[in-house]
Structure 1
């Protein structure tokens, strides 16, 4: 893999604006109007969200991530995609570098809703 150049510097205040939290993926379901998107139902401890992720073609079995904890960006505006609403973004590793993406996840179980950073 050829390493990508480091992006433009940001301030710590810019970084602090991101709200990245751990959630447990409780269900993965089809998005009928999309060839790429799957709907993740994610438990953040005090609430549950629907988050759409483009993992349908990246994984042989997208349902294999059910029950796993992962990192999610939770302070993005809701997005309407393929007739569904996404309430955040899966924070995965590899896609930007054209690698098969994998989950960014805690090495041990932590409470849902725990913040990264």
Structure 2
């Protein structure tokens, strides 16, 4: 099912950027979350993502890779750590093991999608 129709004005509100995952760290109090330190060129962010059960070794699998992130999402406090964004992944809603949404080739960190 396709979600409700939005306008270009709605889409323009979302700030999607390429970031390089420079560090993956465990959130020991959570059975689902890991933390990412992401380099967006002009700034870095800590972003928590629920991939602990989806990957055998998140650090080895995604550290050093570029991916797409929403960077203007309101911060959310989880397990005492503030998450400043959202990782785009592909497949979770379809109940398949998610994969990263990545640029086809490396681009400068912070490059804006859209």
TM-score range with shorter-chain normalisation? over 0.9
TM superposition shift of 1:23 = 0.2
- SS of equivalent to 1:33: coil
- The Cα RMSD (Å) is 0.6
Q: 1:77 aligns to what? A: 74
1:45 maps to what in 2?
A: 41
TM-score (norm 2): 0.97
Structure 1 residue 101 corresponds to structure 2 residue 104:
no
Unaligned runs of 5+ in 2: none
Question: What is the deviation of 1:32?
Answer: 1.6
Alpha-carbon separation, structure 1, partners of 2:48 and 2:63: 14
Gaps of 5+ in 1: none
* Aligned-partner Cα distance in 1 for 2:16–2:80: 25
Matched position secondary structure for 1:56: coil
Tell me the TM-score normalised to structure 1 length: 0.95
- Equivalent residues, number: 113
**Partner of residue 3, structure 2:** 7
